[in-house]
Structure 1
Amino acid sequence: MKKPELLVTPTSVSHIDELAEAGADAIIIGEQRYGLRLAGEFSRSDVAAAVETAHRRGMNVYVAMNALFHNDKVDELADYVAFLAGVGADAIVFGDPAVLLTVRETAPHMNLHWSTETTATNWYACNYWGRKGAKRAVLARELNMDAILEIKAHAEVEIEVQVHGMTCMYQSKRSLIGNYFAYQGKVMEIERKKYEKGMFLYDKERDYKYPIFEDENGTHIMSPNDLCIIDELGDMVEAGIDSFKIDGVLHTADYITEVTKLYRRAIDLCTEDRERYEREKEKLLAAVEALQPPHRRIDTGFFFKETIY
């Protein structure tokens, strides 16, 4: 049985070796100027070092260029694509057609992964972008299991599914936090506050904390719970899903590493010894629960027609 790729999000170059030891097959990195909601910021020198480290450990490196681009950044894309091709990145993750067209002109050999966060909800869309040049489609987080399996059955491209981590509920290109402090007359607090990673919108009625942060791409509001389906991988493995992603945004490096170890164990068991996986999956789930920060529960997201926000 084919093993799905285990794709993870390192926080730094030094973190990559730990993730390799934990069993990761691939990493996704980038810088916020071009990529959305990354676990760590990677400058050009960091990207080059990350590619060298990952390739030495047998891992693929995907670089995020899935931000929402306005005219002021379009002229920069060719230079960044040429740089990524030059250092040997294995694929570019994109959502904007400007990236696809730039890659065609600048580095036509480069692999492309289509990722728009929300609009990859049917196989026609996946295949459309596949015929335009994408090798992989990253499915929306709001799909249930039946929809995912149906898409995979009809897809002409690889399919990537997030199996663990936060979900982005809302993004605005506007500086909502900065504008809020400016409106209050607290101008001196804007730069200090708006980039913090420990701010929350608090729902007193349900006792939910929604992480909120701001970066160059605007304002992001994240889900109050972490998605976790470590005990529900069987159907997707049997369907041949190509990549399982652990999204570590706003989590520590140690947390991402330990979760990676658990999913490595789950994937190996599920593909090599299904009966043992069925016996051990509750223990794996309990191990994830033990790693969770006190304010973050885990749930199964939309996989079984639940809602998490």
Structure 2
Amino acid sequence: MKKPELLVTPHNIEAIELLAEAGADAFVVGEQRYGLRLAGEFGREEIKKAIEKAHSKEKKAYVAVNAIFHNDIANELDEYIAFIKEAGADAIIFGDPAVLMAVREVAPDMPLHWNTETTATNYFTCNYWGKRGAVRAVLARELSMDEMIDIKEHAEVAIEVQVHGMTCMFQSKRPLLGHYFEYQGKVMEIENRREAKNMLLYDKERGNKYPIFEDKNGTHIMSPNDICMIDELEEMVEAGIDSFKIDGILHSPEYLLEVTRLYRQAIDLCVEDSEQYEEVKEELLEKIEELQPEHRPLDTGFFFKETVY
């Protein structure tokens, strides 16, 4: 049975070595100008160092170029992708066809991972992008387990699934919080905005708290719960899902490190000793529950329920 890749989103270069030792197989890095909802900001020199660090540990590094591009930034893509190629990245994560066109022009051998966040909902679309150069499709978080397994069965590209972390529910290109603070005369004086910590929309009627994340791509309102599939990995492993992603956005490096360790244990047992996995999976879930911030309960996302668009 093939062991799926464990893909993690590090906060900084220093975290890469620790996460590699904890069991991560690959990392997503990038800078906000070109990448969407990154756990950490990596400038060009940091991207180079991150790739070098990952490769020194015999791990892979993927660069996110999946932001929403207007003409000014789209015209920079040839130069940026040439830089990524020179830096030695193992793949580029993209959603916009402008990236595909730039890669064909300046880095035709660069592997591409298609990731549009929400529109990878059937294997026809995954295979469409596969025929145009993508080697992997990142499935939408709104799919059920059965739908994901069906897509994997018919896909002509590798399949990546997020198994842990937040889901983005809303995005605006406008910095909505920034404008609100400006209106109040509190520009950049709000500590939790500056550090992106515990900015929450509170839904009193439902008792939910929705984390808010702002970057150069605008305002992102996240799900009130974290996906956690550590005790439900068997079917996806048996189906041959190629990559399991842990998204560390708005979580601490310490949290991400410990969660990576636990998922590494779960994946290894699931592949090598399924009976022992069955025995310990509830314990692994309990350990993650102990790590969770109070306002971030765990659930299984849409894995076991139908999404209504």
TM-score range, shorter chain: over 0.9
Partner Cα distance (2:42, 2:65) in 1: 12
Q: Secondary structure at the residue paired with 2:260?
A: helix
Counterpart check, 1:305 vs 2:302: no
The unaligned stretches of length 5 or more in structure 2 are none
8 Å CA contact retained: 2:143, 2:306? no
Q: Which residue of 1 aligns with 2:114?
A: 114
Name the residue aligned to 2:60.
60
Structure 1 residue 295, shift from structure 2 partner: 1.4
Mapping of residues 154-173 of structure 1, within 5 Å = 154-173=154-173
Kept after mapping to 2: 8 A contact 1:300/1:306 = no
| Paired letter, 2:270 | C
Name 1:293's counterpart in structure 2: 293
Name the structure 2 match of 1:10: 10
Match of 1:186 in 2: 184
Give the AA of the match of 2:283: K
2:271 counterpart SS class: helix
Look up the equivalent residue of 1:46 and give its one-letter code: E
TM-score of the two chains, using structure 1 as the length reference: 0.96
Q: CA deviation at 1:176?
A: 1.4
Query: What is the aligned partner in structure 1 of residue 103 from structure 2?
Result: 103
3-state SS of paired residue (2:134): coil
Instruction: Please name the residue that 2:33 is paired with.
Output: 33
Tell me which amino acid in the other structure corresponds to 1:45.
Answer: E
1:197 is aligned to 2:202: no
SS in 1 for 2:187: helix
Find the counterpart in structure 1 of residue 89 from structure 2.
89
Distance 2:133 2:48 in 1: 25
Distance 1:191 1:103 in 2: 37
- Partners of 1:204 and 1:164 lie apart in 2 by 26
Distance across 2 between alignment mates of 1:269 and 1:206: 38
Q: Shift in Å at residue 72 of structure 1?
A: 1.1
Contact 2:7 2:28 in 1 (8 A): yes
Does structure 1 conserve the Cα–Cα contact (< 8 Å) formed by 2:160 and 2:243?
yes
Could you list the runs of 5+ residues in structure 1 that have no partner in the other structure? none
| Aligned-residue offset at 1:79 | 1.0
Q: Which amino acid aligns with 1:299?
A: D
State the alpha-carbon separation in 1 of the partners of residues 179 and 257 from structure 2. 36
SS of structure 1 residue aligned to 2:220? strand
Kept in 2, the 8 Å contact 1:120–1:140? The answer is yes
**Is the contact between residue 195 and residue 215 of structure 1 (CA under 8 Å) also seen in structure 2?**
no
SS of alignment partner, residue 281 of structure 2: helix
For 1:124-139, what aligned pairs fall within 5 Å after superposition? Answer: 124-139=124-139
Deviations 1:105-162 (A, max 9, x none): 0100100000000000000000000000000000000000010000000000000000
The root-mean-square deviation of aligned C-alpha atoms, in Å, is 1.5
Q: Percent identity?
A: 66
Deviations along 1:81-100, one digit per CA (max 9) or x if unpaired, are 01110010000000000000
Conservation of the 8 A alpha-carbon contact between 2:115 and 2:137: yes
Q: Does 1:280 align with 2:280?
A: yes
The more displaced of 194-203 and 266-275 is: 194-203
Aligned counterparts of 1:197 and 1:13: Cα–Cα separation in 2: 19
Distance 1:134 1:248 in 2: 25
- Residue 261 of structure 1: how far off its partner (Å): 0.2
Query: Match of 2:243, as an amino acid?
Result: S
The answer as to whether partners of 2:77 and 2:102 remain within 8 angstroms in 1 is yes
Task: State the alpha-carbon separation in 1 of the partners of residues 282 and 306 from structure 2.
Answer: 20
Three-state SS of the structure 1 residue aligned to 2:126 is: helix
Q: How many residues align?
A: 306
Q: Distance in 2 between matches of 1:306 and 1:264?
A: 29
With 286-295 and 142-151 compared, the bigger mean Cα shift is at 286-295
Distance 1:306 1:220 in 2: 23
